[in-house]
Structure 1
Amino acid sequence: MSVLSSIRNSLVPVHRAGYPFIFIGLAGIVGLSIVSTFLAWLAVIVTVWICYFFRNPRRTTPVEDGVVVSPAEGRVSMIAEVLPPSELALPAELMLRVSVFMSIFDCHVNRAPVSGRIQQIAYTPGRFLNADLDKASEHNERNAIALETPYGPVAVVQIAGLIARRIEHWVAEGDHIEVGDRFGLIRFGSRLDVYLPLGTPVCVAVGQTAIVGETVLARLGGNTAAQRYKTS
């Protein structure tokens, strides 16, 4: 393997959503270098952190039927039985909610927790409370996506946090999405909630670190361990 190939394989790609911020950072480095070397180095540190924040690593996702993977990278902050988001046209019945909190140091590219057809996408403006709080599910700015699966309705909700000021998604109603596919991003610091049919066996615990697109949160229908994978 050549040196160039080794370097390429060791670098983590940056998502294109981060390009404008990186360009601003580079411009800041050039501009501040004229004024102060110290400030220019601070701009270098900030720009490197921006590249790190918008990293878009490849993941190996289990694709067995019924598997639910983490849509976010971070800490499993809550597991609870709650009603689904009111903005989605889902039955007003209790569902299992698994929440994953992303700090500003976690990968913020979001991936589909399950395979299914997107029935509805509902954006709700709101506040910017700490995303680690339970009430953030109802009061914060969020983007909810309802998915139709063979096991019943599943929802994934992107929730803005204290310093998050932009929620992005790259899917549309009617689209079919496969488990592990990239579907959105939140900047900077936030949370994702996954709503599953009540009684779904959970495979994680509160406090556990989840890897986006890889960690199995639950198994719809109680299916056995996944044996097929994809890398994307």
Structure 2
Amino acid sequence: MTVPDWLQADRLPRVAVAPGAWRYAVPLFALGLLLPTAPLLAVVGLAGGVAVLWFHRDPPRDPPGGGFVSPADGRVSVLRTEGDRVRVGVFLNVTDVHVCRAPAEGVVEALEHRAGAHRPAFSKGSERNERVDVDCGDYEVSLIAGAFARRIHPYVESGDRLRRGERVGHVSFGSRADVLLPPEVDREDVRVRKGDRVRAGETVIAPGPASKPL
């Protein structure tokens, strides 16, 4: 099936969505618009395209002046000590924004993709799920695939300099995002608890250095 010129992604209205979202949405819109003799399928296609864009929405955020901010929207599902460091994990429900952000300023020292399972992101088994770890030296962000997620999309690479709240990637169709805080942050310093709702780039989860130009 050939998509009409006017339905090509670069000719559609610009909306604030994550990179690659139109790749999923365009075939669904095309299905809806090219099946006038099958109204039910047409409605399903159009509704599916809208749902895909809504899922990949990318609203602006206003980071605070200091502290480590949440890497994702959702609920805190992991809060534990690993050696001398604290891990905070955020489970992203299907209704949450799935664009993840840098908890603090830093430089990407390494980017590692690890293959794995696709268990529900809120389960203990998700520790062995597919993931991308973004090592920024003082802290590390992990984008973890969920039961239905198959595409982790990092936006950064080694050597990139990050600002607090800058977009670092997204996971299509379900995920979890973790931040491994630096050793100087104790568990008692963490300002969120399991079950708390947080917003990517805005909710301060632990004290940290103030923002400064990079």
TM-score scaled by length of structure 1: 0.79
User: Which residue of 106, 110, 129 corresponds with 1:120?
Assistant: 110
1:144 corresponds to: 133
SS state at 1:25 partner: helix
Alignment gaps of 5+ in structure 1: 1-10, 83-92
2:28 corresponds to which residue?
A: 25
Please state how far the C-alpha of 1:12 moved relative to its aligned partner.
6.4
Query: Contact conserved, 1:12 with 1:57, CA < 8 A, in 2?
Result: no
Structure 1 residue runs of 4 or more that deviate by more than 2 Å after TM superposition? 31-34
1:111 aligns with 2:101: yes
* Alignment-mate amino acid for residue 206 of structure 2: A
CA distance in 2, matches of 1:63, 1:130: 34
Query: Percent identity of the aligned residues?
Result: 34
1:146-185 → structure 2 map (5 Å cutoff): 146-148=135-137, 153-185=138-170
User: Which SS does the other structure have where 2:136 is aligned?
Assistant: strand
Question: 1:204 and 2:195 equivalent?
Answer: no
Q: What is the CA–CA distance in structure 1 between the aligned matches of 2:124 and 2:182, rounded to whole Å?
A: 19
Q: Which amino acid aligns with 1:117?
A: V
5 Å-filtered alignment, 1:5-16, equals: 13-16=16-19
Q: 1:16 to 1:121 in 2, by over 3 A?
A: closer
TM-aligned CA distance change 1:144 to 1:16, over 3 Å = closer
Q: Which amino acid aligns with 1:38?
A: L
Q: Distance in 1 between matches of 2:178 and 2:101?
A: 12
Unaligned runs of 5+ in 2: 1-13
Separation (CA, whole Å) in 2 of partners of 1:17 and 1:217: 29
The count of corresponding residues between Structure 1 and Structure 2 is 196
